[in-house]
Amino acid sequence: MMKTICRLLLSGSLCLVCQHAFADLIVVANPQSGVDKLSKDEIINLYMGRNRKLSSGINAIPVDLSAANAEKANFYSMLVNKNLPEINSYWARLMFSGQGSPPLQVESVDEALDIIASKKGAIGYIDRKKLDKRVKLIYDPTQ
């Protein structure tokens, strides 16, 4: 009985930690993208290669962090409920069949912000604390 209670408390605590991590991630775009807001489904379609254009008609440039960044694992878990090996496998299948290529990968949030700020169709996910006036918030999972 005590083991069961401990497991429930631990899993509840982990859920709170995960929800907090997800709440800190937002999706931003270049202010010239013509996009004010995207839905979760639209972001999924862009990041999973199902759609190549923003809702404004501009070619999308999804920017992805490298696997070394914890934000990447949190983002894909939040977005499509998949871990990084599953995402890598998904892209390996698509690339092998010639059906697509993964988002542009960068090493840091600062590099992602620089690209998003300089390329009209660029979007990316960042920690809420890193939001600055060079980019525009287009998706907030807490709203």
User: Could you give the CA distance from residue 111 to residue 2 in angstroms, rounded to a whole number?
Assistant: 48
- Break the chain into its structural domains and give their ranges: 2-139
Give the SS3 label for residue 141. coil
Which of 66, 97, 98 is closest to 84 using CA atoms? 66
Amino acid at position 118, single letter: S
For 1-23, write each residue's pLDDT tens digit.
Answer: 544 444 444 444 444 444 444 45
| Alpha carbon 130 to chain centroid, angstroms | 14
- The pLDDT value given to residue 23: 56
- The pLDDT value given to residue 76: 96
Higher pLDDT, 12 or 57: 57
- The pLDDT value given to residue 99: 87
- Residue 19: other Cβ atoms inside 10 A: 13
Return the CATH architecture of domain 2-139. 3-Layer(aba) Sandwich (3.40)
For 112-139, write each residue's pLDDT tens digit.
Answer: 999 999 999 999 999 999 999 999 999 9
For 66-116, write each residue's pLDDT tens digit.
Answer: 988 899 999 999 999 999 999 999 999 999 998 889 999 999 999 999 999
Cα-based distances in Å from 106 to 10, 20, 63, 94, 98: 34, 24, 7, 20, 22
Six-digit token string for 31: 């202010």
Backbone angles phi, psi at 45, to 5 degrees: -60, -35
**Contact (Cβ atoms closer than 8 angstroms) between residue 66 and residue 109:** no
